[in-house]
Amino acid sequence: MTSRSLPLSHILLALAVVAVWGTNFVVIKTTLDNLPPILFACLRFVFVFFPAALFIKRPAVPWKQLAAYSLLISVGQFALLYIAVDGYISPGLASLVVQMQVFFTIGLSIWFNGEKVRPFQWLALLVAVAGVGVIAIFTDGSATMLGLALVLLAGASWAGGNTVARQAGQVDMLSYVVWASAFAVPPLVVLSLLYDGWPAIHEGLVMADVATWAGVLWQSFGNTLFGYTAWGWLLARHPAATIAPVSLLVPVFGIGASVALLGEGLPLWKIVACALIISGLAFNTLWPKFFGPKAAAPP
């Protein structure tokens, strides 16, 4: 079933999802106070896979595709993102910059599928890149060049995962994510031993309190299981062009939560960078909705 207008209950559900996804960056930052980054990522996907895999059927896709998706999303995206937020970039800016994955995804579609870039997409990309450029120029402790690079690489990994998932066709994304998570744990254990080191792992597990474990579980159940389930439910009932624009609020919630809860500064340059990146994302998302062939067609 599809519809052009969203009922109030569906609007509230969509807002709940993007609020969880946006404020999740503050949860990442606070949980990293006790856990080293790669161990944190590993624990996240342990609880995404188990116990959900006991109740959710494995999707009918090859194991190697699940493994590829997991390496790109679970290992590439989140390991890099957690390292970046662990002292190299503020959670608010991380929530904004990682959205550049939209343009990386377009680039990969061009590379692998021969899709053509439309003029409005070039303009959207230029506007968003200008925003990233502002962040690179005006660093005040909120971001370092290393942090910016790590988040951009995380976005590129996210885009790679999107490309792999797209090849799976119409599948239940919740099932896909749950079963792919099984392939995330072994490499994350190895990377944690190499990057975090056993002393930091041991100290993190010993120092972890109720709030720390709540942060881990929020990543697994709130951000992943609830987020994917609710978003997939909405996409099954409404056109993607109706639901997708709501995701533009993710960095708004991310920056707002970081400012309100962590005291992240909001100088003029950061406001300009946010406006440019969100404008680029909005232009890329909304242009086809309002000016595409369907918009021009008679009723």
Got the DSSP string for 23-81? Answer: HHHHHHHHHTTTS-HHHHHHHHHHHHHTTGGGTSPPPSS-HHHHHHHHIIIIIIIHHHH
What is the tens place of the pLDDT at every residue in 95-128? 999 989 888 888 887 777 676 777 888 888 899 8
What is the CB-side half-sphere exposure of residue 252 using CA atoms within 13 A?
14
* Rounded Cα gap, residues 86 and 265, in angstroms: 17
- Mean pLDDT for 7-27 is 91
Q: Kindly state the greatest CA–CA separation across the chain.
A: 66
User: Phi and psi (nearest 5°) for 298?
Assistant: -70, 155
Mean pLDDT of the chain, nearest integer: 87
**Angle between the N-to-C axes of helices 198-207 and 37-49, in degrees from 0 to 180, rounded to the nearest 10:** 60
SS3 state at 143:
strand
Higher-confidence residue of 297 and 92: namely 92
pLDDT per residue as tens digits for the range 67-90: 999 999 888 999 999 999 998 999
CA distance 13 to 18: 9
- 89: which strand partners? 143
Q: Which residue has the tokens 């207008």?
A: 5
Q: Please name the residue that has the structure tokens 């994302």.
A: 281
pLDDT band at 4 (very low <50, low <70, confident <90, very high): low
Across 179-187, average pLDDT: 94
pLDDT bracket for residue 53 (50, 70, 90): very high
Q: What residues does 143 pair with on adjacent strands?
A: 89
- For the entire predicted model, the pTM comes to 0.88
Helix, strand, coil % over all residues of the chain, rounded to 5: 80, 0, 20
Query: What phi and psi values does residue 54 have, to the nearest 5 degrees?
Result: -70, -20
pLDDT of 192 higher than 90? yes
What pLDDT was estimated at residue 190? 96
141-145, 215-219, 288-292 — which one is most confidently predicted on average? Answer: 215-219
Yes or no: say if 94 and 81 are a contact pair by the CB < 8 Å rule. yes
Other Cβ atoms closer than 10 A to 291: 11
